Chains A and B, each alone.
Chain A
Amino acid sequence: MIEMNSTNPVIELDQLRIVFGKRRILHDIQGSLRGHCIGLLGPNGAGKTTLIHTLLGFHKPASGTARIFGCDIRNESKRVRTVIGYMPERDSFIAHITCVHFVRLMAELSGLPSDAALERAHEALFYVGLGEARYRKLGTYSLGMKQLAKLAQAIVHGPRLIFLDEPTNGLDPPARKRMLELIREIRDSGRTHIVFSSHLLRDVEECCDEVLILKDGHIAANCNLEEERRANRKFIEMETRNATPAFVDAIGALGCEYALTGNQRVKLVMQDGIEIRDLYKIAAASDVQIRRLNYKRDSLEDIFLKAMEQ
């Protein structure tokens, strides 16, 4: 059994190169991912799905390797797959059988004894919200239901790492909301890590604490969103009335970096030991109104766009 250790990375990429024919898809990518929910972002053709497929053992690396919970995907692929769940992007199911039969089959193939597989299949289907429809054949399911069935088969055997490839594709807003809630719940269980590949930055931002951004088979950015969020609390954007150079100079005298933009907006980086009330005191002394004050956070969109510009 693969042991999870909080100090070890979930996934380590070690000069991983994937080549299809003469085309290089992933270019010697290197990095380690430790988040509970890791967002995998990138434009079409960036290599997100190829990376997931390689980690699942579907493609052999041309060179380099990757490790999942410390197990090499080249030599210990089968061992790795005992702790993995996978929800593919495309429709993947067995049409002529009922959903509960399908999920049970997948659980048994993952190594669960027959009785436990049946019990877990029912539980997983109730959990994802298909409890009432579990005896229907998969071929009769709507797109949203198929997505949930795919999620059920991915979690039925209680994997330690779940790969979700575009899980919100084709879902209507309530179904999308439900899917994101489920992902957050699984993440918050604390026992399972998730790799969440998506084009939708908002979905990733809602669920993930770490993102890996791929561009043309290279890692364009790898950042911990939690740390970014914490760091972003130092950036402040103020909308003022009657802001004068004396006002911003006074802010500068506190040791903050600042910039006064033409439309009475002041952007500044707070230094340690400086409080918001200090800003209000200066404003009062300079007869300046602070009409709005925001923590200016780098949204995931900003991070993504910066990464794409590189």
Chain B
Amino acid sequence: MAVYEHSYKPYEGTLTSAWSRFLVIPRYAYQDLFKYKLFIALFVLCYVYPLISTVIIYLHHNANALAVLDITVSDILPINATFFYVLVSVQTSLAFVFTVIIGPVLVSRDLANNALPLYLCRPFSRFEYIVSKMLVLLILLSMFTWVPGLLLFFFQSYLEGGGWMADNLWIAGAIFTVSIAWLVILALLAMAFSAWIKWRTAASAALFAIFIIPTPIGFIIEELFNTNMGHMLNLGVAFSALSSHLFQLDWLDAKLSFFEAWGVFAAYALICVFMLSRRVHAYEVVS
């Protein structure tokens, strides 16, 4: 079927492996996103705090630099679990901003343009479609959350030496687990709202609302019934609780237990999966 021949020929070349097709949709999505200079600028901004953290870690281990700047080690932030928790908190907050920008159009565009039959008539299942769309967010957000977090952890381990890494490996686990849990929830929420809410602005507003509205409700339930069950609606509280337990931060007021926090994440994830399963069909069957 060459351009100059104008005749039809079946394709007889090699095919890619089925697992690698997961990455086709994210690749095309990034080509689309990185066309915009504003988006690139925002993406670069996400590396400001990890860069500052890198400088702090470097200063901790460079007496010459401290002397030049005329400061002592005690004047700068200590490198401990709190240091990495702050890094994860800042970066996951930025991840939320990116989710609000990218998330609302992930599925809604395909639904609005009736594109799902075109995806699903190929050797590409609904599950693969959802995972591929999730990967658009997960890969992008990982690039400035747990990936730099772990790189900084290894940087600190390298400079500190002497078994610091072995003693603090749980911090690396906390960086990864907290970030991934947060990113998966963000991606699922964004996709579920995208599948059900046609208008981008409304879907973005819904994403904000899901974090804002449960907070006063949780406190009202706590005051009225003297129970922490109200906070089980609140993803922000669950995130704090999970961080508090995994980063072993006693100063962080964890309103939920470790398992309750996971329960909140699991409940939200299940609801999102249910919402997606109801909407992501090649065609809607009206019974």
Chain A residues in the interface with B (C-beta under 8 A): 20-23, 53, 56-59, 78-79, 81-82, 84-86, 88, 90-97, 101, 105-106, 108-113, 116, 120, 122-124, 126-127, 131, 153, 155, 157-160, 163, 182, 185-186, 189, 191-192
Contacts and interface: CB of A to CB of B under 8 A. Distances in A.
Contact of B117 (A86, A96, A182, A186): A86
Given A20-B287, A58-B282, A78-B125, A109 B119 contact: yes
Contact of A108 (B9, B24, B125, B287): B24
A303 to B, nearest CB: 29
A108 B110 contact: no
A153 B119 CA distance: 11
B101 interface: no
Interface in B5-25: 6-16, 18, 21, 24-25
A189 B3 contact: no
B1 interface: yes
Interface of B: 1-3, 6-16, 18, 21, 24-25, 28, 32, 109-110, 113-115, 117-125, 281-283, 285-287
Contacts of B287: 20-23
A53 B282 contact: yes
Nearest to A182: B8
Given A94-B115, A126-B3, 12 more contacts: A53-B282, A57-B120, A81-B123, A86-B118, A88-B118, A91-B114, A101-B28, A110-B123, A127-B7, A158-B12, A191-B9, A192-B8
Given A56-B282, A81-B123, A97-B32, A112 B10 contact: no
Which of B8, B21, B120 has the most chain A CB atoms inside 10 A of its CB? Answer: B8
Interface centre among B110, B124, B281, B286 (most CB of A within 10 A): B124
11 contacts: A56-B117, A56-B282, A58-B120, A81-B123, A93-B114, A97-B28, A105-B25, A123-B1, A158-B9, A160-B10, A185-B8
B111 to A, nearest CB: 11
B21 A109 contact: yes
A207 to B, nearest CB: 14
A160 to B, nearest CB: 7
A1 B39 CA distance: 42
A68 to B, nearest CB: 12
Given A53-B283, A109-B21, A124-B1, A189 B121 contact: no
A56 B121 contact: yes
B109 A96 contact: yes
A94 B1 contact: no
Closest 9 CB pairs of A and B: A21-B287, A158-B11, A158-B10, A111-B15, A86-B121, A58-B282, A123-B1, A92-B114, A126-B3
A20 B7 CA distance: 41
The listed residue with most A CB atoms (<10 A of its CB), out of B2, B24, B120, B123, is B123
Contacts of A79: 123
Contacts of B124: 81, 109
Contacts of B1: 120, 123-124, 127, 158
Contact of A159 (B6, B10, B118): B10
Contacts of A21: 287
Contacts of B117: 56, 58, 86, 88, 92
